[in-house]
Chain A
Amino acid sequence: NAGVTQTPKFQVLKTGQSMTLQCAQDMNHEYMSWYRQDPGMGLRLIHYSVGAGITDQGEVPNGYNVSRSTTEDFPLRLLSAAPSQTSVYFCASSRPAGTGGYTFGSGTRLTVV
């Protein structure tokens, strides 16, 4: 099993550009989430989904969009990149809350210049 696969691993964007971070899981997990990690700030929840067709906002959703058309995929879209979005992004998936831990992808390191 591949687990949670994130692409790309590294990306440099110019301010104002848009892009999509891809996330796919092959564990048939219902829950999927996107986190960003910045030094000293821990892991902050951007958006999450409890199943296909259902998404909701986390702590820091501004500037990001998500969709969940299938159980396997949960892409994160940056609409107009800003330097403040320079971060490491992690996608994670799990069975429903309370039934086990999250499996994290290896992350995407994004730099916006």
Chain B
Amino acid sequence: GQQVMQIPQYQHVQEGEDFTTYCNSSTTLSNIQWYKQRPGGHPVFLIQLVKSGEVKKQKRLTFQFGEAKKNSSLHITATQTTDVGTYFCGGSNYKLTFGKGTLLTVNP
């Protein structure tokens, strides 16, 4: 079945440093979604990518979908303490399958 792998599992940065998490699927995806979960909270939808090679930006966050629609990345520029949380990618064909997430901690 479809598997979604996400790396790294953990990332600790100093405030102001950049951060990137990567997502790889074993199968071609119709779309990929990114979510953020704050500690003790629930996942919150950030963005969906649908087109091959698509790049979308949300302020300091940049999302990319690979040309083969099997991988994706989330890049945060100049991290802030408010960026702390776990970032999940979810690959969707007809049901959403998540990677294990990347826990980001930021040292002020």
Residues of chain A having any CB pair with chain B under 8 Å: 33, 35, 40-45, 48, 50, 56, 58-59, 90, 92, 94, 97-98, 100-107
Please give, as numbers and ranges, the residues of chain A lying within 8 Å of B75 by CB-CB distance. none
Task: Report how many A-B pairs have Cβ atoms within 8 Å.
Answer: 67
Chain B residue contacts of A97, Cβ below 8 A? 30-31, 92-96
Residues of B within 8 A of A90 (CB): 42-43
Residue of B35, B50, B95, B101 near A45 (CB, 8 A) is B95
Q: Which among A33, A56, A94 has the greatest number of chain B C-beta atoms within 10 A?
A: A94
* B44 within 8 A of partner (CB): yes
| Bound form: Cα–Cα A92–B42 in Å | 10
Interface size on B, residues (CB 8 A): 28
CA distance A43 to B30 in the complex (A): 20
B41: A residues at CB distance < 8 A = 106
Instruction: Say yes or no for B65: interface residue by CB 8 A criterion.
Output: no
How close is A21's CB to chain B, nearest CB, in angstroms? 14
| Bound: A56/B96 CA distance, A | 13
Contact present for A101 and B97 (CB under 8 Å): no
B31-A45 in contact (CB<8A): no
- Are the C-beta atoms of B88 and A43 separated by less than 8 Å? yes
Chain B residues with CB under 8 Å of chain A are 1, 6, 9, 30-31, 33, 35, 41-48, 50, 88, 90, 92-101
| Distance, CA A58 to CA B48, complexed state (A) | 21
Q: Is the beta-carbon distance between B100 and A100 smaller than 8 angstroms?
A: no
Q: For A43, list chain B residues within 8 Å (CB).
A: 43, 88, 90, 98, 101
B94 and A42 within 8 A (CB): no
Interface centre among B42, B92, B97 (most CB of A within 10 A): B42
B43 to chain A, nearest CB (A): 5
CB contacts (< 8 Å) of B1 on chain A: these are 59
The 8 Å CB contact of A103, one of B45, B95, B99, is B45
Chain B residue nearest in CB terms to A101: B45
Given contacts A40-B100, A43-B101, A56-B95, 18 further A-B contacts (CB under 8 A): A33-B95, A42-B98, A42-B99, A42-B101, A43-B88, A43-B98, A45-B95, A50-B94, A90-B42, A92-B43, A97-B31, A97-B96, A101-B35, A101-B45, A102-B33, A102-B35, A103-B45, A104-B44
